[in-house]
Structure 1
Amino acid sequence: MAQATLTLTMPEEVWIQQISTDYPESTFRVLAAVPGSETGFALVRIAGSAVPEVVEAMDDHPQLTELSLAQWSDNEATVHFETTAPLLMFSSRESGMPIELPVEIRDGEATIEVTGSRERLAELAEQLEHFGLQYRIEHVRERLHESQLLSERQLEVIAAAVEEGYYDTPRRSSLTELADHLGIAKSTCSETLHRAEEAIVKRFVEDLPNIDNDEPLEEQLAST
């Protein structure tokens, strides 16, 4: 499966873009969300120095048809609401790609994490564009279960190397001592460690945020 991190820019006509840019220091954290047939429902925690003003602006906005307070303080409020413009929820529903919660929105931008098949991610990109959501790719990679990264033997040797202090500075165990501890030849221990380290380092480098953000998501998925 592929895993992607996207930064979305909300359309100007949508309530969350208008209110979050009017109060750019406020943070909107979507804790739960569910789309209906024509509307969407969400539980959002708002934080910042202008919480009363933000809640008042939400209560007055025509795209929010219902709003109730679940928790309130001077600098934080949790609200449940219904909206006629749940573009992100609709994009998720139509593509069949669940968006991992919580989602944080600030100053008109939302950062989302999604994991699924390449086909579903490509469909999500199409739906985002369909609903007028511009997106910037922060990160995309193939996600494998950790058991697929190393063999059982490699896991055993790496775990022993860490436990015995082979990777400590200074080292508490030499390669010879580690091989003796495992009951294997020094050459076998060295080769197994090297292959495991190669897999781990390559995975680490793949995870670095070096994605070309100007390349469409569909093309990036095709190349991973």
Structure 2
Amino acid sequence: MAQATLILTMPEQLWIQQLSTAHPETTFRVQAAVPGAETGFALVRIAGSDVTAVLEAMREHDQLTELTIAQRSEREATVHFETTAPLLLFSSQESGIPIELPIEIADGEATVEVTGSRERLAELAEQLEFFGLSYRIDSVSERLHQSQLLSERQLEIVVTAVDQGYYDTPRRCSLTDLAEHLGIAKSTCSETLHRAEEAIVKRFVEDLPGLDGAESLAEQLAAN
């Protein structure tokens, strides 16, 4: 399974792009969303200094219907609404890739995390482009369970090393102490830790952001 973090730029004709760019200090956090036949429904938490103005603009926008305020304070509101332009939901539905919630939107951009097969993610990229949603890639990586990254024995030793304070600064446990606690030879403990650390560090470096945003999601999936 591959995991990708995308930064989407909303089309100018979309209500969320218009409102979030008009109020760039306001954040829209999508807590729940579901597509309908031709519309979409969402629960969104709005936070910022212009909440009143944002709510008034939402009530007046022709792409939003059935706006209901679930919670309200001076700088925050949670609203439920129906929209006639749920392009992100339609992209997700057509590609078979669920959008992981919550989604945060600010100043016309949405940060979206998705997980699925490389084929499905490539289909999502095509659907985003079809609906006019441009994007740049923050990261793409394989989503591995810890048991796939480390062997059972490596995991046991690393967890014990953390518990015993081997990785504390200053250390509360020496390599000799750790080996004695585990009941293994010092050389075996050292080699097993080194192999586990190698796997962890390499995975960490591979997951660092810095991918070329000019490449499409499909191209980066193929490259990996």
Q: TM-score, normalised by structure 2?
A: 0.96
**Partner AA of 1:111 in structure 2:** T
Paired residues for 1:122-137 under 5 Å: 122-137=122-137
Secondary structure at the aligned position of 2:138 is classed as strand
Partner letter of residue 143 of structure 1?
Answer: R
Q: CA deviation at 1:214?
A: 1.1
Q: Matches of 2:180 and 2:13 in 1, distance apart? A: 68
After superposition, what is the alpha-carbon deviation per residue over 1:44-75, rounded to whole angstroms, capped at 9, x for unaligned?
11111111111111111111122111111221
Deviation at 1:210, TM superposition (A): 2.1
- How does 1:1-224 map onto structure 2 within 5 Å? 1-224=1-224
d(CA) in 2 for partners of 1:65 and 1:112?
24
Inter-partner Cα distance in structure 1 for 2:107 and 2:83:
19
Gaps of 5+ in 2: none
Provide, for residues 76-131 of structure 1, a one-character-per-residue CA deviation record: whole Å limited to 9, x for no partner: 11111111100011011111101111111111111111111111111110000000
How many residues matched? 224
CA distance in 2, matches of 1:90, 1:7: 17
Sequence identity, in percent?
78
Letter in 2 for 1:196: A
Q: How big is each residue's C-alpha offset from its partner over 1:118-157, in whole Å with a ceiling of 9 and x where there is no partner?
A: 1111111000000000001011101100111111111121
Q: Deviations over 1:189-221 (max 9, x none)?
A: 111111111111111111211211111111111
Q: Distance in 2 between matches of 1:52 and 1:169?
A: 49
SS across alignment from 2:220: helix
1:50 and 1:108 mapped to 2: Cα distance? 16
Query: AA paired with 2:165?
Result: G
Question: What amino acid does structure 1 have at the position aligned with 2:60?
Answer: D
- Report the residue type matching 2:174 in the other structure: S
Letter in 1 for 2:33: A
SS at match of 2:85: coil
* Other structure's SS at 2:8 match: strand
- Runs (5+) with no aligned partner, structure 1: none
Q: Which secondary structure does the structure 1 equivalent of 2:162 belong to?
A: helix
| 2:38 partner amino acid | E
Q: TM-score, normalised by structure 1?
A: 0.96
Counterpart code for 2:58: M
**Aligned-residue offset at 1:18:** 1.0
Amino acid at match of 1:127: Q
Instruction: Give the Cα–Cα distance (whole angstroms) in 1 for the partners of residues 182 and 79 of structure 2.
Output: 57
Take 1:131 and 1:49, find their aligned partners in 2: how far apart are those partners?
31
Equivalents in 2 of 1:56, 1:175: separation in Å? 63
Across the aligned residues of Structure 1 and Structure 2, the Cα RMSD in angstroms comes to: 1.2
| Equivalent position SS for 1:97 | coil
